[in-house]
A and B are shown apart, each in its own frame.
Chain A
């Protein structure tokens, strides 16, 4: 279903002027976020073998983020290096479900990138096609190893499928909550804008009347330049300590 939707929407999305570069930056940020999550996983997993795998995966994600960022800047200069936050997924989900989450992400990414690579090949944009093809090699490897580890940690193929279903449900719940937050944020912005428009003029007039413009620019409390403090150690202000 999702794949069919991506197939239909892809040609439209990449044709919007400037949107392609923004989309590539979106991928760069996603790879950067994934890098951070994988580094956290490498720091926290009890298994040496998995630590090495997560670390190698994180290194790949760093490289991918750089590749997407550079291509985005070629298409439309001015993007800053990708910055991402973390949702502390390893701590929140536990290692098995974290792996299920990563596996789903890799699978989705691989499917999407396959379509994009074909799309750019058809358009004759060999540079962007090569970018996706290069990253696809890694995505396939990531998809494979995370599946193997998931089965190993879950205990069986059936248990791994259960974990994948559970993480899909969790992602759907997360998306629902995000939508709620976005809506609430929109309402908050509207309410605050109205508040600013109502209170702002009154407050601005009041503050300008009360506080001359010059006040903030000069030393507060400091004696005039030629008035030297006579004694070393003279305490003119408050003493050290907490307020």
Chain B
């Protein structure tokens, strides 16, 4: 029986997770506390918050596991920059400085800053941490496991076989050949922020045609055994972490798009960029499909677990579920680097003899809100508050009346999706709500879709293929069935990034959906993340009230309080 803390950080998506006696107790991304989006620092605040939540002193921790081997990473950075001599001349001092200045000493810094004995702090491998998060949190006793991201120590893609409490490494593809870095390079080319704009590329893809396959065949070659190869002259990630793509890519695809220029998808120019996004999405899907088929062939398993940043591509996940030959597919809710913290903690716990954790039914692994503190602060801010006798009914009444409601209940979510604990809810049948949300509240590109949350037992009525093992965590898309008028959540290609809700995953949201069904006949709400543009999702009642006073939402429902301006 043990207390194990897992940590990820020093690149992006820093996070901490705590596993006690084989049970996942709490998991927190640093950005939720620091309020810095994709916070890359060491997640010391998140780690302390995990321990405080579980009422455990730092001295009682049996092991702290970092999600990456810092020495192997240093070696990869040194060898990859030397191998491309002299292209990495500008990159070299910065890369070496970052590695030798702090990153390679991460284990010592963790011990010092957390107040844990150095001998208790260790590390695992990046992709193994991803694989552990994906497999051990899944409901499958055995499964094929694919981890696909930018790069770990030197691996970009890995195939594993998970059986009970064991993970066997079957094969890997090394940096600089990486689907994550391919997607990142094109994300930058299309004028979006890397590690942030990948969702936007996925949304944009539906507006274009995949008509540039010939050009993409020069950029990336897909092989029959599931492997792939990037044509490195088009890229710069092996020589320059800032840029990602080289001038050759612009010669091939045309000039890059200027960041933050308003989008006009009726123009030829932006139409071409949409076509590039569509082609990239198709190529990525086919590469992932080939990997998944290789995983099926190699393991003979009927279930697949996916993790790594590329596994957040919900459209590709849907194709894998349909076409790769697996009966079931699970994607970890924090499939990106944050999830590695939980995987590292689970691996540490298993090594100390704890059992495999129970399957993850809910992503609400963060810190709770304090309703009394929210009431006090709301009064101090001069806001109008009242206690509701029936929060579900009152929220449903507001949503059905066309209002936009911020919904803040219980412990916040693990991963990048708002799943009913820190969500903004609206009427999925009201296109005006979508417009208002996009323009006035979220201030995001008009082509980005919103997601529906639907009661699990009614999901198949509205969405083809739902529910499955991915829909509770909103990591797949499903076509909206004909005859249902859901313009605010139906993407231009007819799909929706569905979240299926039940009492185990998000009880308060399930209550709202039931109350909505009683009013509108539809147990569905538009569900988008409760955050401002460029900000992390809300964590505390302070953040929630700050959002209310700075954004034109109609109400904030926090615990049993209804707060308005």
Contact between A243 and B124, CB atoms less than 8 A apart: yes
In whole angstroms, how far apart are the Cα atoms of A197 and B89 in the complex? 8
- Chain B 81-101 per-residue mask, 1 if CB under 8 angstroms from chain A, else 0: 111111011001110110000
Contact between A233 and B163, CB atoms less than 8 A apart: yes
B72 — nearest CB in chain A belongs to which residue? A243
Taking the nearest CB of chain A, how far is it from the CB of B132, in angstroms? 7
In whole angstroms, how far apart are the Cα atoms of A48 and B377 in the complex? 7
A218, CB-defined interface residue at 8 Å:
yes
- Chain A 70-110 per-residue mask, 1 if CB under 8 angstroms from chain B, else 0: 00010001111101111000000000000000000000000
Residues of chain B contacted by A242 (CB below 8 angstroms): 65, 122-124, 347-348, 351
* Interface stretch (choices A2-10, A51-59, A148-156): A51-59
B545, CB-defined interface residue at 8 Å:
yes
A55 — nearest CB in chain B belongs to which residue? B546
The listed residue (A56, A78, A218, A230) touching B258 by CB distance below 8 A is A78
In whole angstroms, how far apart are the Cα atoms of A202 and B169 in the complex? 34
Contact between A36 and B36, CB atoms less than 8 A apart: yes
Contact between A204 and B83, CB atoms less than 8 A apart: yes
- Name B's interface SS: mixed
A235, CB-defined interface residue at 8 Å:
yes
Residues of chain B contacted by A162 (CB below 8 angstroms): none
Given A63-B550, A203-B85, are A232 and B299 neighbors across the interface (CB < 8 Å)?
yes
In whole angstroms, how far apart are the Cα atoms of A233 and B170 in the complex? 12
The listed residue (B34, B88, B165, B377) touching A240 by CB distance below 8 A is B165
* Interface stretch (choices A12-20, A166-174, A185-193): A185-193
Interface residues of B in 239-260 (CB under 8 A from A): 258-260
In whole angstroms, how far apart are the Cα atoms of A188 and B121 in the complex? 30
Given A39-B542, A86-B36, are A236 and B377 neighbors across the interface (CB < 8 Å)?
no
A70 — nearest CB in chain B belongs to which residue? B260
Contact between A221 and B170, CB atoms less than 8 A apart: yes
A220, CB-defined interface residue at 8 Å:
yes
Contact between B550 and A62, CB atoms less than 8 A apart: yes
Residues of chain A contacted by B224 (CB below 8 angstroms): 225
B142, CB-defined interface residue at 8 Å:
yes
Residues of chain B contacted by A185 (CB below 8 angstroms): 97
Given A85-B36, A239-B168, are A228 and B85 neighbors across the interface (CB < 8 Å)?
no
The listed residue (B82, B132, B174, B550) touching A207 by CB distance below 8 A is B82
Taking the nearest CB of chain A, how far is it from the CB of B221, in angstroms? 9
Taking the nearest CB of chain A, how far is it from the CB of B141, in angstroms? 10
In whole angstroms, how far apart are the Cα atoms of A236 and B543 in the complex? 48
B545 — nearest CB in chain A belongs to which residue? A55
Given A55-B545, A193-B93, A207-B79, are A238 and B85 neighbors across the interface (CB < 8 Å)?
no
Residues of chain A contacted by B81 (CB below 8 angstroms): 196
Number of A-B contacts (CB under 8 A): 209
B540, CB-defined interface residue at 8 Å:
yes
In whole angstroms, how far apart are the Cα atoms of A228 and B296 in the complex? 9
* Interface stretch (choices B225-233, B313-321, B463-471): B225-233
Instruction: Find the residue from A77, A79, A217 having the highest chain B CB count within 10 A.
Output: A217
A223, CB-defined interface residue at 8 Å:
yes
Instruction: Find the residue from B69, B142, B170, B299 having the highest chain A CB count within 10 A.
Output: B170
A160, CB-defined interface residue at 8 Å:
no
The listed residue (A222, A230, A236) touching B294 by CB distance below 8 A is A222
Contact between B542 and A222, CB atoms less than 8 A apart: no
Residues of chain B contacted by A80 (CB below 8 angstroms): 193, 259-260
B175, CB-defined interface residue at 8 Å:
yes
A137, CB-defined interface residue at 8 Å:
no
Contact between B132 and A229, CB atoms less than 8 A apart: no
In whole angstroms, how far apart are the Cα atoms of A73 and B532 in the complex? 19
B161, CB-defined interface residue at 8 Å:
yes
Contact between B89 and A217, CB atoms less than 8 A apart: no
Contact between B85 and A219, CB atoms less than 8 A apart: no
The listed residue (B94, B300, B376, B381) touching A228 by CB distance below 8 A is B300
Contact between B168 and A235, CB atoms less than 8 A apart: yes
In whole angstroms, how far apart are the Cα atoms of A242 and B533 in the complex? 39
Given A52-B381, A73-B260, are A201 and B85 neighbors across the interface (CB < 8 Å)?
yes
Residues of chain B contacted by A215 (CB below 8 angstroms): 174
Contact between B34 and A199, CB atoms less than 8 A apart: no
Taking the nearest CB of chain B, how far is it from the CB of A236, in angstroms? 6
A220 — nearest CB in chain B belongs to which residue? B172
Residues of chain B contacted by A203 (CB below 8 angstroms): 79, 82-83, 85
B63 — nearest CB in chain A belongs to which residue? A242
Taking the nearest CB of chain A, how far is it from the CB of B238, in angstroms? 10
Contact between A81 and B124, CB atoms less than 8 A apart: no
Residues of chain B contacted by A212 (CB below 8 angstroms): none
B350, CB-defined interface residue at 8 Å:
yes
A216, CB-defined interface residue at 8 Å:
yes
The listed residue (B173, B350, B542) touching A55 by CB distance below 8 A is B542
- Chain B 105-138 per-residue mask, 1 if CB under 8 angstroms from chain A, else 0: 0000000000000000011110010001000000
Taking the nearest CB of chain B, how far is it from the CB of A243, in angstroms? 7
Residues of chain A contacted by B376 (CB below 8 angstroms): 48
In whole angstroms, how far apart are the Cα atoms of A140 and B65 in the complex? 48
A234, CB-defined interface residue at 8 Å:
yes
B177, CB-defined interface residue at 8 Å:
yes
Given A79-B260, A80-B193, A240-B350, are A192 and B93 neighbors across the interface (CB < 8 Å)?
yes
Residues of chain B contacted by A123 (CB below 8 angstroms): none
Taking the nearest CB of chain B, how far is it from the CB of A49, in angstroms? 6
Residues of chain A contacted by B35 (CB below 8 angstroms): 35-36, 39-40
B295 — nearest CB in chain A belongs to which residue? A222
A182, CB-defined interface residue at 8 Å:
no
A230 — nearest CB in chain B belongs to which residue? B300
Contact between A52 and B259, CB atoms less than 8 A apart: no
B534, CB-defined interface residue at 8 Å:
yes
B285, CB-defined interface residue at 8 Å:
no
Contact between B542 and A42, CB atoms less than 8 A apart: yes
Residues of chain A contacted by B226 (CB below 8 angstroms): 219, 225
Contact between B350 and A241, CB atoms less than 8 A apart: yes
In whole angstroms, how far apart are the Cα atoms of A77 and B260 in the complex? 7
Taking the nearest CB of chain A, how far is it from the CB of B200, in angstroms? 13
In whole angstroms, how far apart are the Cα atoms of A196 and B173 in the complex? 27
Contact between A58 and B546, CB atoms less than 8 A apart: yes
Contact between B169 and A238, CB atoms less than 8 A apart: yes
In whole angstroms, how far apart are the Cα atoms of A240 and B191 in the complex? 41
Taking the nearest CB of chain A, how far is it from the CB of B207, in angstroms? 22
Given A59-B549, A234-B161, A240-B166, are A217 and B225 neighbors across the interface (CB < 8 Å)?
no
| Known A52-B380, A219-B294; 16 more pairs at CB < 8 Å | A55-B545, A56-B381, A59-B550, A188-B97, A189-B94, A196-B85, A207-B82, A218-B173, A219-B159, A219-B227, A221-B169, A225-B294, A234-B161, A236-B169, A237-B170, A240-B132
12 pairs from A and B in contact (CB 8 Å cutoff): A59-B549, A196-B81, A196-B85, A196-B86, A196-B89, A217-B227, A219-B225, A220-B172, A225-B224, A237-B161, A239-B168, A242-B65
The interface of chain B, by Cβ under 8 A from chain A, is: 34-37, 65, 69, 79, 81-86, 88-89, 92-94, 96-97, 122-125, 128, 132, 142, 159-161, 163, 165-177, 193, 223-229, 258-261, 294, 297-301, 347-348, 350-351, 376-377, 380-381, 532-534, 540, 542-543, 545-546, 549-550
